Structure 1
């Protein structure tokens, strides 16, 4: 009788790169943070969400504070990359550039219930503010400078009489407010309706270039 051969076992990949593991833990942190908030998020929750041991999270991030800081920095970089890429792909006209920035804030990759809940958790927690100011404020200032410059160019080309700094501030604050409103109002309206609302704001300031439906063809 021929001896039966044991079936070939396919090895299970248990190890992933350090960067991939940390990203896995950051994504798990975002899911927990969105559900439980800043104060109630614990390392044990993140470990359970990621399907790893408590010790593995400690190995990569040491403390809850460092894990949350890494999560905040990841989200800030994700936001920066989103709007800079959108701006780089836009046309040369300032109206096209403003349109790119408006759309970027409501891109489906970053304007999700999970992302918005995480941002609100960080914004509402005093202990995260010094970290944000230290690590993320330079990116905010870069965004504001770009938005003000685009508004100034569009005001000049369109013959508008607005103040560029105030106009840019209004557009930015409306966008931030819509993020908060989407989250707090739950299912009252969706991302597309929020985008139309921001276009309405742009249309008030730049009626030759925008309507509530978006950019007017140049």
Structure 2
């Protein structure tokens, strides 16, 4: 009698997470239009029926992938600030510059993010998540600006301007062959910061 093959069963949370990560990979490779139950399950190496066991459909899987991706970015930002020490200016610059370094400055992350951006105007669930994720990013920036300049009456517009600058520079860097280096991007952010908070 042959030796019976042993199988290990993944924990349900691990299976669900593997589908979330597979959704992000599909979005990066194929965009929102090419992301389907079949493509997600193929990327995760599971049968197509498994996605519906964990999610109501592709839309919910994409929303969870956006939340997961946003949490990864938030963690990278938190780590950059923690490594910057206690100086308020250094902490704010670390928060702003983290987008130009790994793991945030990554072509696959950009491709996934662009898919989320493309869905924001037409998908209410993604639009809500976009507002939440960017709101948390600006709130973190706002706290760091206030720690540096507690005398400022309004930090909202500086936070909006800096977010737009970071998004634009990050987009160029992640697309590849930009007309500037990550160090130059950090320098631009520092100059903008000093002008906005002057």
TM-score category of the 2 structures, normalised to the smaller one: 0.7 to 0.9
CA distance, structure 2, for counterparts of residue 145 and residue 164 of structure 1: 10
Give the number of aligned pairs: 193
Is 2:77 aligned against 1:83?
Answer: yes
CA distance, structure 2, for counterparts of residue 169 and residue 198 of structure 1: 17
CA distance, structure 1, for counterparts of residue 155 and residue 20 of structure 2: 38
Match of 1:199 in 2: 187
Moved over 6 A (4+): none
Indicate how the Cα distance of structure 1 residues 136 and 206 shifts in structure 2: closer, same or farther if over 3 A, else same.
same
One of 188, 193, 205 as aligned partner of 2:177: 188
Contact 2:162-2:193 at 8 Å conserved across structures = no
Contact 1:90-1:100 at 8 Å conserved across structures = yes
Indicate how the Cα distance of structure 1 residues 182 and 104 shifts in structure 2: closer, same or farther if over 3 A, else same.
closer
Q: Please, what is the CA RMSD of the aligned residues?
A: 3.0
Shift of 1:21: 0.7
Match of 1:214 in 2: none
For residues 43-54 of structure 1, the aligned pairs below 5 Å read: 43-54=37-48
Contact 1:98-1:147 at 8 Å conserved across structures = yes
Match of 1:127 in 2: 122
Shift of 1:81: 2.5
CA distance, structure 2, for counterparts of residue 89 and residue 201 of structure 1: 19
Structure with larger RCO (C-alpha < 8 A, sep 6+): 2
Unaligned 5+ segments in structure 2 are: none
Match of 2:97 in 1: 103
CA distance, structure 2, for counterparts of residue 86 and residue 187 of structure 1: 23
Shift of 1:24: 0.9
CA distance, structure 2, for counterparts of residue 110 and residue 201 of structure 1: 16
* Structure with the greater alpha carbon radius of gyration: 1
Match of 2:35 in 1: 41
Unaligned 5+ segments in structure 1 are: 1-5, 208-218
Shift of 1:165: 4.2
Contact 2:20-2:61 at 8 Å conserved across structures = yes
Contact 2:89-2:148 at 8 Å conserved across structures = yes
3-state SS in 1 of match to 2:32: coil
Shift of 1:146: 3.2
Instruction: State the TM-score, normalized to the length of structure 2.
Output: 0.80
Indicate how the Cα distance of structure 1 residues 78 and 164 shifts in structure 2: closer, same or farther if over 3 A, else same.
same
Contact 2:141-2:159 at 8 Å conserved across structures = yes
Instruction: State the TM-score, normalized to the length of structure 1.
Output: 0.74
3-state SS in 2 of match to 1:124: helix
